[in-house]
Structure 1
Amino acid sequence: MNEDRPDGTHASQDIMRRLLYRDALMLVIDKPAGLAVHRDSKGGETLSDHLDVLRFGLPRRPELAHRLDRETSGCLVLGRHRKALERLGRLFAEGKVTKTYWAIVEGTPDGDAGEIALPLSQVEHDQGWNMQVDPAGLPALTRWRVLGRLDGKSWLALEPLTGRTHQLRVHCATMGWPILGDGVYGRATRSAGRLHLHARAVSVPLYPKRAPIVVEAPIPLRMRRQFAQFGVDED
């Protein structure tokens, strides 16, 4: 299952089909774009509405070990019980979990790789809120690498070394290469469709004497046309 439901709903059986990895401590699912992970000001359906289907015999449902924005798809880690969540929480807090996002951006960076260190803060306004670069804000660091360039767009691998809200979107837009389809920080158009930001992979060193667990989420159908232009084919 790799497609966002056209009616905007995500039945529990769909979430079950999005399971990418499972062991005694951790689950990784492929979160669809358009689904908030928990209740927010927009209301409506959330991932939390469907977590019971992922118990797999345990008395309690799994819970989020981290978050993805509503419009971001891809790898999302859940802990299966309290001790698992505590262990995962420490790994995320200590920066030991590696998260790699793929994005299509408008424009092209100077150079092939680098880091963006721009602090961020939340700003309230009449329409709600957004994030902005602010010297007095919280530190935010993103590592980036160009995987392809074509017709004024670029395919980037982005690794957030901090976990600020909308960090990748604000950092890319501030550098002059907003993420395709970003209606808040970029230049979204009807033809661009949804935000082209996907949590492609996660690497979790969950067990001390084993290699990290690496999980990849396939490119969503809604992004495949753009990625195919860069030679990526997952059909």
Structure 2
Amino acid sequence: MIDYTPPTHTGLRILYLDKSLIVVDKPAGLLSVPGRGDDKQDCMIARVQAEFPDALIVHRLDMGTSGIMVMARGKVMERALSILFQTRQVHKRYEAVVARQVSPTRGEINLPLLTDWPNRPRQMVSFVLGKLSCTRYQVLAYDTASDTSRVALEPLTGRTHQLRVHLQALGHPILGDELYASPTVCIQAQRLLLHAVWISFPHPLTGEVLSINSPIPF
């Protein structure tokens, strides 16, 4: 069991705000929604709702992942934004630092994923029962000194832990990943080196395409 010690709340980092939606920058180590137990109530949605009571969740980031989260303002916008996600009109890009040199330097990972029920919340590859899962990747840089690669990731589907499991299956787990990396790879970073860096989607009211970036903290 991973201990939950949320980062100190020093104020919201708002990337976009209007009467329909809020886009915030989630810090690493913070749950997206409350967990089980009184010690897991501090989370991204609770911090946002403290200032914007009408905020509602439409998607999540893993606790260890930092970066862009979109929230609806009110039930009508929650449904409209959820439809955009369901119909794949929302495009996202992440960056990660992974173990070893990735070759080829770009490609597509198609591995079906399934919850590993005896070991929840872990996910696993299952060609029998797994759900279709697809991730595009491109190597941005290779560091010979640390034998690590920085990669851009585009999830074409939105499965739980998709990027983390796909990279592990490729032989390049993300540094700092307590669930999927070996102990030697995990301790190479003090946090999971995965960040939601960019998102693009049509505004549910105006149809204008929003393109929002978040600076990478590692």
Q: TM-score, normalised by structure 1?
A: 0.81
Contact 1:178 1:186 in 2 (8 A): yes
User: Does structure 1 conserve the Cα–Cα contact (< 8 Å) formed by 2:45 and 2:55?
Assistant: no
The corresponding residue for 1:140 is 133
What secondary structure does 2:11 align onto?
helix
Q: Which residue of 2 aligns with 1:226?
A: none
Q: Say if 2:49 is the partner of 1:52.
A: yes
Structure 2 unmatched ranges of 5 or more: none
1:201 maps onto 2:191 in alignment = no
Post-superposition shift, 1:201? 0.7
Task: Check if 1:163 corresponds to 2:158.
Answer: yes
In the other structure, the counterpart of 1:26 is 21
Residue aligning to 1:84: 77
Q: Alignment partner for residue 185 of structure 1, among 180, 192, 206?
A: 180
Matched, 1:121 2:114: yes
Residues 54, 61 of structure 1: 8 Å contact kept = no
Aligned counterparts of 1:129 and 1:219: Cα–Cα separation in 2: 26
Q: Is 1:216 paired with 2:209?
A: no
- TM-score after normalising by structure 2: 0.87
Q: Which residue of 1 aligns with 2:123?
A: 131
CA change 1:110–1:121 in 2 (3 A) is same
C-alpha deviation, 1:109, in angstroms: 2.3
Aligned partner of 1:14 in structure 2 is 11
Of 35-44 and 61-70, the range deviating more from structure 2: 35-44
1:97-156 CA-to-partner distances (Å, cap 9, x unmatched) read 01100001112222222111101111133x643100001211111111111112121111
Alpha-carbon distance in structure 2 between the residues aligned to 1:65 and 1:116: 25
Q: Deviations over 1:66-94 (max 9, x none)?
A: 11011100000001111111111111001
Which deviations, in whole Å up to 9, do the C-alpha atoms of 1:178-228 show, x marking residues without a partner? 1111121113443421110000011111158654111111122xx2xxxxx
* Preserved CA contact (<8 Å) 2:81 2:204: no
Give the letter for the 1:8 counterpart.
P
| CA displacement 1:8-32 (0-9 Å, x = unmatched) | 3443x522xx111112211110001
Contact 1:51 1:61 in 2 (8 A): no
* SS at 2:6 equivalent: coil
Q: Using the aligned pairs only, state the percent identity.
A: 36
Helix, strand or coil at the partner of 1:14: coil
Q: Which amino acid counterpart does residue 19 of structure 1 have in structure 2?
A: I
Equivalent of 1:97 in 62, 74, 90: 90
Give the residue type in structure 2 aligned to 1:89.
Answer: S
Cα distance in 2 for partners of 1:189, 1:209 equals: 44
The DSSP-based 3-state class of the residue aligned with 1:49 is helix
Unaligned segments of structure 1, at least 5 residues: 1-6, 224-235
TM-align CA RMSD: 1.9
